[in-house]
Amino acid sequence: MRWTLLLSLLFAALASGQGIEPSESELDGLEQLYVYLHRNPELSFHEAETAGKLMSELRPLGYEITSPIGGTGFAAMLKNGDGPTVLIRTDLDALPVAEQTGREYASTVKTTDDSGAEVSVMHACGHDVHMATFIGVARALAGVKERWKGTLLLIGQPAEERGAGARAMLADGLFSRTAQPDYALALHSSPELPAGQIGYTSGFALANTDSIDITIRGVGGHGAYPQATKDPVLIAAYVITALQTIVSRETNPLDSVVVTVGSIHGGTKHNIIGDEVKLQLTVRSYQDDVRLRTLDSIRRIVTQTARAFGVPADREPLVSIVEAEHTPAAYNDPALIDRLVMVWRQAFGPANVVETPPVMAGEDFSRYGRTEADIPAVIFWLGTVEPQRVQSGEPLPSLHSPFFKPEPRAAIHTGVRAMTAAALELLGR
């Protein structure tokens, strides 16, 4: 009965250029799925139950499931004749955050993380919205196969929060085990846009992200006799200041770079000059050449500053790029963006399709487009905030905040319409 209603609404919507319009009963089901996922979050590479829940929703629709891929990931294919292959991704993982939204269905989950510490777990980045939308898209497109030709490749990706899931799925033969996409699509919750709107960025949308571990090694001793030491705390202070000259004096002002020292640890007591100081950095950029120059500059500044303070050659600093946490910049193919924006404006009206500036956050969805096949890819923003909260001007909680609480029904509604409209545009209506 609900699919009869959905199809009737669909045909009316298509006639008026609105894309697929989910019925109220379908939205009820998707909202219930969202609540279930929100109450049962799982950390990166531990999303077994989450993946199982989504696969159980997809199998009855006729999707061919391949699992596991890249740990707890999966792929679901629906073939419908000759035509392009469109990849649509959802992420599965949650964050080690203790929820403080006060909602009736707030997460109370606690678990042990990979380091052995007990942590609370919350979907503080909107991945539960993504997954509910993903299932809504899968249902809608499976129900209107007469409207498109080609192959849908839906993937549930683990460990987006660690920037490691896409790499793991690709290394595990994602495309050789399924199909080579012609296009790749994803969406991400926005903590700023009102529900009912979507945002897009042409070109670079999200940044290269790099984590860097630095150990500055000195010669320790008594705090009253600094002349007999090489103080790593002092060296670290000079290094932290000098690192900012990479942005202000080595980078073209028209390019964007962020160098943040997020952690510094050294020493044990007031009157002891320690042997070493450890720093942890995050570095953000867009262009690959700017990224590489920045990383080279960090190595040079750290090494040469230590030498300037007379650190012995056998005590030179250690600079380590944490490759496992590197995420390449997400680049939205301009031609594909132009094509989809036309569709979205027709579906939602120009006022609800908003051009947004690039951000320095990272997203490993970028890896699907940056394979050897150079797949045109787009990730767009999905508004999640109650419109009245946006209009009030009150401070809004960011992603990863314990207070982040999307308006799920309206966001899922918009997400299903936007993603199905994009898929139908690429697969041929």
Q: Quote the tokens at residue 25.
A: 């009963």
* Segments in 101-253 forming alpha helices (H): 127-142, 165-171, 174-177, 232-245
For residue 65, list its beta bridge partners: 76
Angle formed at CA 120 by CA 117 and CA 125, multiple of 5 degrees:
120
Structure tokens at 359: 């951000």
Q: Which of 42, 57, 91, 407 is catalytic?
A: 91
CA 274 to chain CA mean position, Å: 39
Three-state secondary structure call for residue 368: helix
The candidate with the shortest Cα–Cα distance to 307, out of 299, 298, 297, 316, is 316
Q: Are 101 and 403 in contact (CB under 8 A)?
A: yes
Closest residue by Cα to residue 367 from 180, 164, 128, 179:
164
Report the 10 Å Cβ neighbour count for 329: 24
* 161 in catalytic set: yes
Tokens encoding 222: 């008594």
How many other CB atoms are there within 10 angstroms of residue 8's CB atom? 12
- CA pair distance 429, 81, nearest whole angstrom: 14
**Neighbour count for residue 193 (Cβ, 10 Å):** 22
- The one-letter code for the residue type at 371 is T
CA pair distance 115, 106, nearest whole angstrom: 25
Distance, CA of 258 to CA of 58 (rounded, Å): 41
In 3D, which of 190, 200, 201, 205 has the Cα closest to residue 387? 190
The continuous run of DSSP H or E covering 50 comes out as: helix 48-58
Per annotation, catalytic residue among 21, 42, 57, 161: 161
Q: Identify the residue whose tokens are 């920037």.
A: 163
Length of the chain as a residue count: 429
Q: CA angle, 126 as apex, 142 and 195 as ends, to 5°? A: 80
Catalytically active residues, by annotation: 91, 161
